[in-house]
Amino acid sequence: MSQEHSQSIESANTHHADDAHDHKPQGFSRWFYTTNHKDIGTLYLLFALLMLFTGGSMAMVIRAELFQPGLQFVDPHFFNQMTTVHGLVMVFGAIMPTFVGLANWMVPMMIGAPDMALPRMNNWSFWLLPCAFTILLSTLFMEGGAPAAGWTFYAPLSTTYSNDSTAFFVFAVHLMGISSIMGAMNIIVTIFNLRAPGMTWMKLPLFVWTWIITAFLLIAVMPVLAGVVTMVLTDKYFGTSFFNAAGGGDPVMFQHIFWFFGHPEVYIMILPAFGIISSIVPAFARKPLFGYESMVIATASIAFLSFIVWAHHMFTTGMPVAAELFFMYTTMLIAVPTGVKVFNWVATMWRGAMTFETPMMFAIAFIVLFTIGGLSGLMLAITPADFQYQDTYFVVAHFHYVLVTGALFGIIAGVYFWIPKWTGVMYSERLGQCHFWCSLISVNMLFFPMHFVGLAGMPRRIPDYALQFADMNAFISIGGFLFGLSQLLFVWVVFRCIRRKGEKATAQVWEGAEGLEWQVPSPAPYHTFQTPPEIKSGH
């Protein structure tokens, strides 16, 4: 792929005015030895796309099995492997790397930097990911299979009752963690240190702001994940009893440490999407973002609160009532800054001269559907209610609304928004709209009924279910297959752009788009801003 890609970029650039600056290496060394933020961004995005389909195909196995009650295609152990690896691949392989890829591409251009602050480390961060996922996915082909304890790998499922794949899982997570931490360090240092003169804090595009905060969260919690997987490793292989009551430990301790990482992790997967939506909505409403300062403060508040809400994932595991109340109220508090954000997006659109190109469609769908996911989160935050919802499909519906129609829709919106800048050609609007409507309808067929089966008591992570859930599950599975197929359209759209099929894009691309990234030509030259641009006043 890389050969074709680089050649087509080359041919498109031969008549380019910036040719002298656009000198770039070719072939193998370009992609493996690169220090260029755009190349590394491309690698991240393509890797994440591959992982999206890897994790997605596992979701298809899950939905095929759940199409009917009873056991059809896979045995329960393999089903557990699928739910586990699906989660791990989507979280660490698809969503997080996409955001890092988008940051790589856009942050230096948005702040007027020549590249990322530490370009070689940037390359290292990326290439650790394929290594990590090779280790993780290799377990699927080993005796005993892949990890099957859920992506949350609760002890003792991941210790006493797990198989040999645990060690592979642990070291794969270590590599992912090293990659994420280095990626985050790079991004945060770039933003702190490489802003063009005049690019003051309150002029930063919101995507950049959300990434500062995300990077902080990553550096703060990925090491905690490294710690907890290390304890899992020593509990399983070296006779420690961190999560074993017989030795004075506690399985619940695992959950505390895991979710201390896990809850900020949830915001790591949504904050950059907030940033993308905050870029897209003003562009297509042709109005400045409403309440810029409050957006920044809201993002920071969400990040702060993310550190003191973790135990809402564990209301039913046994905690003193005072702790349950504390975590219930702090969790509900998160609705306030999140509400501020949704309000601001809607207020930005209010009386705007709106057009509805594909990025805007996905952004609007994001606002509506993410809000649904947020509201079901509010329901789950209520401790006594959670006793009922816990471990049902209601939870699955909730987090897929925030992660699929939230994070993933935000990503897709961002790709449509920025791909003309990356490739120099407009995507096909017809295909884009088609992709949007197919995705919108199928994703709601897929996840909305999960609320109902969940409220009716269908437990998650089990390959079989009671007969009364059969019709709903068949419907959900059809939605799932359709959603999976719809994403093939997306791949088609993206690859048409990579192959330069489409109208040539202007530098500004979108009439209402503002910011430094829209002042450089499309496709963006290989090296942007070798000397810093001048920043005019205003956002």
Instruction: Just list the catalytic residues.
Output: 86, 115, 151, 179-180, 263, 265, 267, 278, 312-313, 338, 341, 460
159/439 with CB nearer another protein: 159
Q: Say how far apart CA 154 and CA 148 lie, in whole Å.
A: 10
Q: How far is the CB of 175 from another protein (least distance, A)?
A: 5
124/326 with CB nearer another protein: 124
171/492 with CB nearer another protein: 171
Q: How far is the CB of 139 from another protein (least distance, A)?
A: 9
Q: How far is the CB of 7 from another protein (least distance, A)?
A: 19
Q: How far is the CB of 256 from another protein (least distance, A)?
A: 6
Cβ neighbours, 10 Å, residue 288: 14
Q: Say how far apart CA 232 and CA 521 lie, in whole Å.
A: 50
Q: Say how far apart CA 82 and CA 88 lie, in whole Å.
A: 10
CA distances from 485 to 280, 400, 431 (A): 26, 18, 14
* 526 contacts: CB under 8 Å, gap ≥ 6: 21, 22, 23, 24, 36, 38
| 20 DSSP assignment | G
From 277, 307, 309, select the one nearest 295 (Cα to Cα).
277
128/273 with CB nearer another protein: 128
Map residue 513 onto helix, strand or coil: coil
Amino acid 475 reads F
Query: What is the separation, in whole angstroms, between the first and last Cα of the chain?
Result: 39
69/223 with CB nearer another protein: 223
Q: What are phi and psi of 426, to 5 degrees?
A: -75, 140
Q: Say how far apart CA 261 and CA 245 lie, in whole Å.
A: 22
Q: Tokens for 26? A: 């070719």
From 377, 428, 491, 418, select the one nearest 56 (Cα to Cα).
491
Q: How far is the CB of 192 from another protein (least distance, A)?
A: 6
Q: Which H or E run contains 308? A: none
Taking only Cα atoms into account, the Rg of the chain, rounded to an integer number of angstroms, comes to: 23
Q: How far is the CB of 174 from another protein (least distance, A)?
A: 6
130/457 with CB nearer another protein: 130
Q: Which H or E run contains 295? A: helix 292-306
Q: Tokens for 266? A: 């949830």
69/130 with CB nearer another protein: 130
Q: How far is the CB of 425 from another protein (least distance, A)?
A: 27
Q: How far is the CB of 403 from another protein (least distance, A)?
A: 24
Q: Tokens for 336? A: 């306030």
Sign of CA dihedral 384, 388, 391, 397: negative
Amino acid 70 reads G
Mind giving me the DSSP string for 350-373?
TT------HHHHHHHHHHHHHHHH
52/194 with CB nearer another protein: 194
Q: Is 140 left (phi over 0), alpha (psi -120 to 50) or beta?
A: alpha
Map residue 69 onto helix, strand or coil: coil
Q: How far is the CB of 230 from another protein (least distance, A)?
A: 8
